[in-house]
């Protein structure tokens, strides 16, 4: 073997795990799901090829309502996550001392050490009618009868924000950490007040981190399953649940596959729109072109 072919082989060997991962775990399953989604179930054991499963989605208001509901709640959760996460990230990156920073970061990580399910049950123990919060409120005399804090949309939103906030904090801390403090001081020195500095300097600077965090949070939220189901109760309609129902309860894999593809397309579209509106590109959220 000559030098060149060895180099090529090395490159191939280095890339192989990545290519295998992409091909086996991403491309192949999606291709399979897509093929499945084009199969129409006419009767038991009788199938034809066609877009029927997709048409069903648009014909049945329950489906697209659920998708729109999921998307709008995901956007809301993303916005709230930003509002909650930004001050925390700013505090960690710009205000806290070296020591406190590590502790705070760890504190944000701790919820991730338990599974989604355990976290959801934790919320249920806290918020159910006979739960900790309700009992506490009665004890303090703020309310006289038990209050049910579970099984509504607000609880789902709170639970989701709690679950995903770390994924907003991490990219924000890393962009804010890279921001020279003198930019903030210059903002004040040139006459800006706290709000102006935040709005015109800190936030524009942190935009790549904000967008990166938002994409991750939005995707995680739109694709979450346990939290909306367990905390949402009787009215919780989340699109992932719809997909689960198609696959499991109705044995309708074909339409479940179509829904999966639709969720993928819809979330990608939302992310694309978000990037356009914020004037960012996917590349700039990954790496900043510094002056």
Measure the CA–CA gap between 230 and 47, rounded to whole angstroms. 35
Nearer to other proteins among residue 46 and residue 142 (C-beta): 46
Structure tokens at 41: 């179930």
From the list 8, 143, 204, 268, which residue makes contact with other proteins (rule: CB under 8 A)? Answer: 204
CB of 116 vs other proteins, minimal distance in Å: 15
* C-alpha span between 92 and 106 (Å, rounded): 11
User: H-helix or E-strand containing 237?
Assistant: none
State the binding string over 119-158 for other proteins (x if CB under 8 A, else -).
Answer: ---------xxx-----------------x-xx-------
Nearest residue to 209 (alpha-carbon basis) of 182, 164, 178, 163: 178
Helix (H, G, I), strand (E, B) or coil at 40: strand
Q: Find all residues with CB under 8 Å of 25, minimum gap 6, and list them.
A: none
**What six digits make up the tokens of 49?**
């090829």
116 binds other proteins (CB under 8 A): no
Tell whether residue 205 is a contact of other proteins (CB under 8 A): yes
3-state percent helix, strand, coil for the chain, nearest multiple of 5: 80, 5, 20
Q: How far apart are CA 17 and CA 166, in angstroms?
A: 29
Residue of the chain from 78, 81, 224, 242 that contacts other proteins (CB under 8 A) = 242
Which residue in the set 138, 174, 252, 278 belongs to the binding site for other proteins (CB under 8 A)?
Answer: 252
Which residue is it, tokens 């199938």? Answer: 47
Q: Is 191 in the site for other proteins (CB under 8 A)?
A: yes
Q: Does residue 193 interact with other proteins by CB under 8 A?
A: yes
Least spacing, CB of residue 216 vs other proteins, in Å:
22
Q: Is 283 in the site for other proteins (CB under 8 A)?
A: no
The secondary element (H helix, E strand) that includes residue 22 is none
Number of residues counted as binding other proteins (CB under 8 A): 49
Residue 235 interacts with other proteins (CB under 8 A): yes or no: yes
Interface residues toward other proteins, by CB under 8 A: 41, 43-45, 62, 65-66, 128-130, 148, 150-151, 180, 182-183, 185-193, 196, 200-201, 204-205, 207, 229, 233-235, 237, 242, 245-253, 289-291
């Amino acid at each position: 073997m000559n030098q060149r072919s060895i180099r090529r082989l090395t490159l191939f060997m280095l890339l192989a795990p990545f290519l295998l991962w992409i091909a086996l775990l991403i491309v192949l399953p999606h291709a399979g799901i897509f093929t499945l989604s084009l199969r129409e179930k006419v009767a038991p054991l009788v199938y034809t090829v066609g877009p029927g499963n997709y048409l069903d989605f648009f014909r049945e208001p329950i489906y697209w309502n659920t998708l729109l509901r999921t998307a709008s709640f995901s956007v809301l959760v993303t916005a709230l996550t930003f509002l909650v996460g930004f001050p925390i990230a700013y505090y960690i990156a710009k205000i806290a001392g070296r020591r406190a920073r590590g502790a705070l970061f760890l504190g944000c990580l701790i919820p991730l050490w338990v599974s989604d399910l355990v976290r959801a049950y934790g919320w249920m123990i806290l918020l159910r009618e006979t739960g900790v919060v309700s009992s506490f409120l009665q004890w303090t005399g703020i309310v006289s009868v038990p209050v049910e804090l579970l099984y509504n949309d607000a609880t789902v939103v709170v639970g989701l924000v709690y679950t995903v906030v770390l994924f907003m904090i991490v990219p924000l801390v890393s962009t804010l950490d890279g921001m020279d403090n003198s930019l903030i001081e210059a903002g004040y020195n040139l006459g800006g007040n706290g709000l102006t500095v935040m709005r015109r300097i800190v936030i524009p600077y942190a935009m790549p981190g904000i967008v990166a965090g938002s994409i991750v949070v939005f995707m995680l939220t739109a694709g979450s399953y346990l939290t909306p189901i367990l905390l949402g109760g009787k009215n919780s309609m989340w699109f992932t649940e719809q997909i689960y129902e198609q696959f499991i309860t109705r044995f309708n894999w074909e339409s479940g596959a179509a829904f999966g593809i639709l969720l993928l397309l819809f979330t990608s579209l939302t992310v694309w729109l978000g990037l356009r509106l914020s004037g960012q590109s996917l590349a700039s959220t990954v790496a900043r072109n510094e002056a």
